[in-house]
Structure 1
Amino acid sequence: MSDAEDYATSCCESDCDNSDGDSIDAFENEEVEPDDCGASSLARSSTQVITKESLLSAQRQHLHTVMELLQVAEQHARTLLIYHRWDVDRISAILVEKGKDWLFSEAGVTVSETRDLVLSMSSSPVTCDICFEDVAPTKTTTMECEHCYCNDCWTEHFVVKINDGQSRRIRCMAPKCNAICDEAIVRKLIKVKDPNMADRFERFLLESYIEDNNKVNWCPSVPHCGNAIRVDGDVYCEVECACGLQFCFSCLSEAHSPCSCQMWQLWEKKCRDESETVNWITANTKSCPKCFKHVEKNGGCNLVTCICGQAFCWLCGAATGYEHTWSSIAGHSCGRYKDQKTERAKRELHRYMHYHKFYKGHTDSCKEESKLKASIQERISILESKESTMKDYTWVMNGLYRLFRSRRVLSYSYPFAFYMFGDEFFKDEMTTEEREIKQNLFEDQQQQLECNVERLSKSLMEPLDELSEEEIRATRMNIINLSVLVDRLCHKMYECIENDLLGSLQNTTHNIAPYKSKGIERASELSIWWDSGSSLRNMKPITDDSCRHAAGNVT
């Protein structure tokens, strides 16, 4: 056994033996995850699922808050919220810091109580400054910014903006006017020309709560489930939709903590595309100077011959004659040239293969261990049918869920290490000595976690239904101790990443989703809330087609 293995084993044994009773009690009392994906949370979740039915209610909550805060109409509240990406706290802060006038002016909100007063007192034709036609005052519309044009010009302007995807913030036609057009007027004029476009306009206003909201994202499930997720806290988190999909809220990829979103996106690309194939070709082959096919050397001599018959020097790739000795080739001399590019490609390929091997190994193990659930439940059923003093076997399922979580953390820790200690992000952030110290610190913790995860996996594979009651009790204590220890090691690894690794960076910011002992939080369903004065009560529900459109925007 190597020194590294001795060290890992001693750490595992000492940590496991020192598990305290309080931790064990807490583990035994931990709630077993429900099998039903639709089960609601016992306490209010920090994430909520917004369905097609509750989307309007979610939007109304924010509209009502701003309407009460600023004493404005619904249209003005919506304009402010869309401009500030539905961030009520930001609107409140700007109101206190810079005042209502600045807040309204910046968002394009104009409040007027004298609109149409002058025109209503006159029956004379009005000349539209857009089409230069004389029209009756009843066929013109004046916006709150007091710019007046004929209804036909307004309608065409609205149609163009809606078709261009600018329906959420349609500005006045007047040059240099920043005012946003009244959505009620847009709705009224568009409905006369094209009722279907009026429905699109309504849908775009409704979807703006998701499309323009930093705290809300569509679920990236395929096929699309039609749900969106709203978070109340930090957007750098991992969430679970009601459909069962777990994903990173920030980048909408699969849950990948402790990798940052930037790291994970590069790792996915590296695993998906042909960059590593290119690296292998660069490291192990040379291009023939005649036919340009790639040739792999299968001997020690540096004079190689392509299948086309061309001889060339392996060191520099130049064409040569056939006659050669151990020190020279006829008609050619390249000295003792060493291809630095090839050597670097070999090192990078070897490094990538190391981290990918462990990443894929733990990912594959996680898939295999997911099959344990059915067999363990079957064994528990057999044990519960026997006459025994032990009746509570929740510790088995708790241990299994702990294994799933810790295995996932371990799997994604390898892509994190690949970029944390590579040159892609932090080349200028650490000296060689600092990098080596931090890498050793991280790998020590990674090694301890890996060792105990494997021990937990082995313990959970014990045939409990074939063991004696005394052996079951010993297995129970072993699984509980290892589960508590693995959870503690995961916490320590995240503390190391956040404080010692990412926290010490000066020029780069990488955020990771926090570790949670109970796993990724399932979003609770948003309760439907209605304002008695809602003008949107009769709005058509969002259609399946619009959900598919929204999902397409996400991907």
Structure 2
Amino acid sequence: MDYSDDDVMLDIESGEDNLYSDDVDPGFAEEDNDNDSASQLSYVILKEEDIHEHQRTDIEQVSTLLSISQAEAIVLLLHYQWNASKVEDEWFTDEERVRKTVGIVKEPVVDLNQMNIICGICFESYFQKDIATVSCGHPYCMTCWNGYITAKITGGPGCLMVTCPEPSCSAVVGQDMIDKLISNEEYKEKYYRYFFRSYVESSGKKIKWCPSPGCEYAVDFGRGSENYDVSCLCSNDFCWNCSEDAHRPVDCDTVAKWIFKNNDESENTTWILANTKPCPKCKRHIEKNQGCSHMTCSAPCRFQFCWICLRAYPCPEDCNKFKGDDEAENKREMAKTALRRYMHYYERWVSNQSSRLTAKRDLEKLQSVQLKQLSDKHSTPEAQLQFIVDAWLQIIECRRVLKWTFAYGYYLPQHEHAKKQFFEYLQAEAQVGLERLHDCAEVEFKQFVSETEEPSKDFSDFRRKLTGLTIVTKTYFENLVKALENGLADVESTMRAK
């Protein structure tokens, strides 16, 4: 089936029964350079050094423009969630109000000119050199300060906005005081870790951490993009909007419903309704595990009844007579149908996810071992074998898309028969094409890395076929995604043309 990148839907009247022939011309489906994924990236991956650099830049900018210390600039930026523009606007609108709100006191409220000073926590007398204060001037000894701030750091990220220990005072403890008072490197490192992470976690969702366990990268997502798929440098693909695995062409609401359904215990209730019957006496649900219809309840009631008509055993002779609609039985049959339908989509969803994970492992093996073997065996530089890696990357991506089409299909309204028929056609064609590509990359590839088996075809033929299948499959799946995201809106005109 031939179409261009500009086609949103596929021409089901082309008469082409086999979309992916064995001899695919790589020029069969031209790629549109304007649609290259790299040129459409609407996000930036931030490494740890990038975040540190952003923090330094913002601190220096605010400190210079407002003519304040960097410690005070940090306090302002933390309070206004690292929004430098808002800090500047608020400061120049009403500096006094901002100082009061944030806790940057202009003049100390306590006079410390005396020789001996009483610590406000331990009430011991100290020389002035052994006392530390923040902008308010309330005096505390070094030991009490250390214990106070250490306790705050132990308590979590709130330590970034610690205020004076004096209950009625709102003066904030700046970062310069942290450096001066905390000597324990473990606590100091913990504090600065909170400080580092605050740039992302206090950004008002402008920046998010990659949700992959152990990943330290963050993502700064641009506004105005309708594509929320993000591919992190750690190889995790996720949705910026909901943080679930990348799920185009399915929207976030559908994904949430699908995941909830997969985890919901109501599915167990559906199974019970479909596969069990209640004891007529104690109403406990019983599963039939033998062929005979003579049932004995396992509950203490030990009631004996007929599985078919649910009456006391032996049941009357009219057990097999049709008595018209039975509401309970109708509900049970409906539950069975609903369960079978759900399992149909769920099993295929799981199967494609499993195939995707296997493909990822196969790609890792290819890159770590097999490319070197193939390069040596065929005297071909590894750089010229990139087409095999590209094929596996495409397989992994297509498995992801195909997986989510089953969630899409489950929630597709059953009464929209034309859309359902067209969707199933597109999905089936995608499945066929992907299996052809996967088979070529997995099975046919083996003969070229095997040390004992002689290849049955020329390596250049294999290159041509795999490259062609990769291009065709990529194009088909891109158009499939567009069609489903468009809600199969063109199906009416397509079916009329038929």
Q: TM-score, normalised by structure 2?
A: 0.67
Aligned residue in 2 for 1:354: 344
- 5 Å-filtered alignment, 1:383-394, equals 384-385=378-379, 394=386
Tell me the distance in 1 between the aligned counterparts of 2:188 and 2:467: 61
- Tell me: CA distance 1:66–1:315, structure 2 relative to 1, closer, same or farther (3 Å): farther
Superposition deviation, residue 169 in structure 1: 1.8
2:428 to 439, 444, 447: 447
Tell me the distance in 1 between the aligned counterparts of 2:482 and 2:466: 24
Q: Deviations over 1:334-357 (max 9, x none)?
A: 993425653443233212211122
Superposition deviation, residue 405 in structure 1: 2.0
1:457 to 438, 443, 462: 438
Tell me the distance in 1 between the aligned counterparts of 2:297 and 2:117: 86
- Residues 217, 232 of structure 2: 8 Å contact kept: no
Q: Percent identity?
A: 22
- Residues 248, 481 of structure 2: 8 Å contact kept: no
Tell me the distance in 1 between the aligned counterparts of 2:185 and 2:303: 73
- Tell me: CA distance 1:199–1:349, structure 2 relative to 1, closer, same or farther (3 Å): same
- Tell me: CA distance 1:334–1:401, structure 2 relative to 1, closer, same or farther (3 Å): closer
Q: Deviations over 1:118-164 (max 9, x none)?
A: 725x4398899x779697894776644x4746458766654553343
Q: Write the letter of the residue equivalent to 2:273.
A: T
Q: Write the letter of the residue equivalent to 1:101.
A: D
The answer to whether the aligner puts 1:50 opposite 2:47 as a matched pair is yes
Aligned residue in 1 for 2:395: 403
Match of 2:94, SS?
helix
- Residues 99, 105 of structure 2: 8 Å contact kept: no
Q: Write the letter of the residue equivalent to 1:50.
A: K
- Residues 316, 339 of structure 1: 8 Å contact kept: no
- Tell me: CA distance 1:94–1:283, structure 2 relative to 1, closer, same or farther (3 Å): farther
- Residues 24, 480 of structure 1: 8 Å contact kept: no
- 5 Å-filtered alignment, 1:227-306, equals 227-233=216-222, 236-242=228-234, 254-259=245-250, 263-264=254-255, 267=258, 271=262, 276-288=267-279, 289-290=281-282, 292=284, 294-296=286-288, 304-306=295-297
Match of 1:168, SS?
helix
Q: Write the letter of the residue equivalent to 1:285.
A: T
Q: Deviations over 1:404-455 (max 9, x none)?
A: 322222123323443x437xxxxxxxxx75x655545544433332232123
1:123 to 104, 109, 114: 114
Tell me the distance in 1 between the aligned counterparts of 2:278 and 2:131: 74
- Residues 239, 245 of structure 2: 8 Å contact kept: yes
Superposition deviation, residue 310 in structure 1: 1.6
- Tell me: CA distance 1:383–1:13, structure 2 relative to 1, closer, same or farther (3 Å): farther
Superposition deviation, residue 284 in structure 1: 0.5
Tell me the distance in 2 between the aligned counterparts of 1:209 and 1:15: 49
- 5 Å-filtered alignment, 1:90-105, equals 91-92=84-85, 95-96=88-89, 100-101=93-94, 105=98
- Tell me: CA distance 1:72–1:160, structure 2 relative to 1, closer, same or farther (3 Å): same
Match of 2:102, SS?
coil
Match of 1:500, SS?
coil
Aligned residue in 2 for 1:491: 478
1:114 to 97, 107, 111: 107
Q: Deviations over 1:96-136 (max 9, x none)?
A: 589553897399434454337x725x4398899x7796978
The answer to whether the aligner puts 1:217 opposite 2:217 as a matched pair is no
Tell me the distance in 2 between the aligned counterparts of 1:61 and 1:97: 19
- 5 Å-filtered alignment, 1:328-477, equals 336-339=326-329, 342-367=332-357, 369=359, 371=362, 374=366, 377=371, 380-381=374-375, 384-385=378-379, 394-418=386-410, 420-421=411-412, 439-460=420-441, 461-462=443-444, 466-468=455-457, 472-473=460-461, 476-477=463-464
Match of 1:338, SS?
helix
Please give the root-mean-square deviation of Cα atoms over the aligned residues, in Å: 5.3
1:81 to 44, 63, 77: 77
- Tell me: CA distance 1:54–1:296, structure 2 relative to 1, closer, same or farther (3 Å): same
Higher relative contact order (CA 8 A, sep 6+): 1
- Residues 412, 420 of structure 2: 8 Å contact kept: yes
- Residues 352, 403 of structure 2: 8 Å contact kept: yes
**Structure 1 runs not aligned, ≥5 long:** 1-5, 32-40, 423-431, 503-555
Tell me the distance in 1 between the aligned counterparts of 2:151 and 2:384: 67
Superposition deviation, residue 167 in structure 1: 0.5
Q: Deviations over 1:56-102 (max 9, x none)?
A: 4554344334434544432233333334444x4xx425745895538
Superposition deviation, residue 13 in structure 1: 4.4
Give the number of equivalent residue pairs: 449
Match of 1:326, SS?
helix
Q: Deviations over 1:259-292 (max 9, x none)?
A: 5556556655655676644432331012434594
Q: Which moved more, 1:409-418 or 1:250-259?
A: 250-259
- Residues 208, 220 of structure 2: 8 Å contact kept: yes
Tell me the distance in 2 between the aligned counterparts of 1:71 and 1:488: 56
- Residues 75, 174 of structure 2: 8 Å contact kept: no
